Amino acid sequence: MRSQSNQEQASGVFYAIGAYLCWGLFPLYWKPLESIEPLQIICHRVLWSALFLLLVLSVRRHWSWLAAFRAAPGKLGIFCLSSTMLTANWLMYIWAVNAGHIVESSLGYFINPLVNVLLGRLFLGEQLGKMQKVAVLLAACGVMWMTLQLGAFPWISLGLALSFGVYGLLRKQAPLPSLEGLTLETLLMAPLALIVLAVFEFRGTGCFGHIGWKLDTMLMGAGVITTVPLLLFAHGARRLKLATIGLIQYISPTLQLLLGVLLYHEAFDSARAVGFALIWAGLLVYTAGSVRSLLRARLA
């Protein structure tokens, strides 16, 4: 039994690392598409992702979960909201990457765990421990520092953190596992994405079929490359404790930060360095508190 448990944890770590590596390397995929409007990119992502997920479910012959929504269509409401938040998050992220704000987008995903803590306190009644309060305070100081020093509110970072945090909060209340939930969210957004692309085409500004086969192929592939990490994460999350996931998740924003600074030469001056340092300190405190709680639970 112990050997089987260790194998499951090892495979869970493999899946989770794979997911966060994909997310961290996403700027390498979106940058070549910077000549295309982000709205068109996200619409193609939705449509091709829907087709890919339908193919996965067809192979698995797994459609029984739809019966509950045919019987009670009112349950779709929460998925409409979560689909909107996920699409908004992706649209903002793709725009940020292609507009030269990879460093700011990485900050958003560093902040995200602490935003989740706040949302849990506000909407789920979860209590904040002393270390969590210190962590949130340090992160808030980091955001205020950068706002004052740079003369601009970091709305990209906070927009990404909040939109993904609210998405996670909604999905926590939604009555479907990851694969089925993602499929439903994508299918709900697909008709709107199709209409938007039709409008672009009618105006003569549509890109698909007019920009060369390489970029067309990348637009089609956007659905697959954004879906695969979510499926990997779903497999990993079922096998790992939240504390382990909490440590692995920093792979993604770290890679994004390195790509932004080292490969795309985005600014990372002293003001940003101090702000990031405060937020990183908050994350260390938060992680230490999570690990301590896990160890206490085991001892108990």
Residue 5 belongs to some domain of the structure: no
How many separate domains does the chain show? 1
So what's the pLDDT on residue 176? 77
Dihedral angle sign, alpha carbons of residues 245, 246, 251, 252: positive
On average, the pLDDT of the chain sits at 85
249 falls within a domain:
yes
Question: What is the C-alpha separation between 184 and 161, in angstroms, rounded?
Answer: 23
What is the span of the domain harbouring residue 274? 11-299
pLDDT of residue 209: 80
Whether 2 is in a domain gets the answer no
pLDDT computed for residue 76 by the predictor = 83
Q: Is residue 6 part of a domain?
A: no
The C-alpha atoms of residue 131 and residue 291 are separated, in whole angstroms, by: 11
Question: Which of 20-24, 89-93, 149-153, 184-188 is the least confident region?
Answer: 149-153
Q: Rounded distance, CA 218 to CA 222, Å?
A: 6
Q: For residue 168, is it within any domain?
A: yes
241-258 pLDDT, tens digit per residue, is 655 676 778 889 999 999
The residue-averaged pLDDT of 177-192 equals 88
118-137 per-position pLDDT tens digit: 888 888 787 777 887 888 88
What CA–CA distance (Å, rounded) separates 49 from 52? 5
For residue 259 the two structure tokens come to: 């790509």
Residue 225 counted as domain residue: yes
Q: Is the residue at 1 inside a domain?
A: no
| Residues 62/237/165/26 CA torsion (nearest 10 deg) | -90
Tokens of 61: 């012959």
CA distances from 295 to 73, 76, 290 (A): 43, 39, 9
Tokens of 117: 């803590």
Residue, of 163 and 113, whose pLDDT is higher: 163
For the beta carbon of residue 82, count every other beta carbon within 10 angstroms.
24
Between 67 and 78, residue with greater pLDDT: 78
Q: Which residue would you say has higher pLDDT here, 174 or 115? A: 115
pLDDT at 103 over 70: yes
Cα(76)–Cα(174) distance, rounded to whole angstroms? 9
Distance of alpha carbon 30 from alpha carbon 103, whole angstroms: 15
Report the pLDDT value the prediction gives residue 286, as an integer from 0 to 100.
80
What is the C-alpha separation between 54 and 184, in angstroms, rounded? 10
Is the pLDDT reported for residue 189 higher than 70?
Answer: yes
d(Cα 196, Cα 187) in Å, to the nearest integer? 15
Is residue 199 in some structural domain?
Answer: yes
Over residues 53-77, mean pLDDT:
81
**Reported pTM:** 0.86
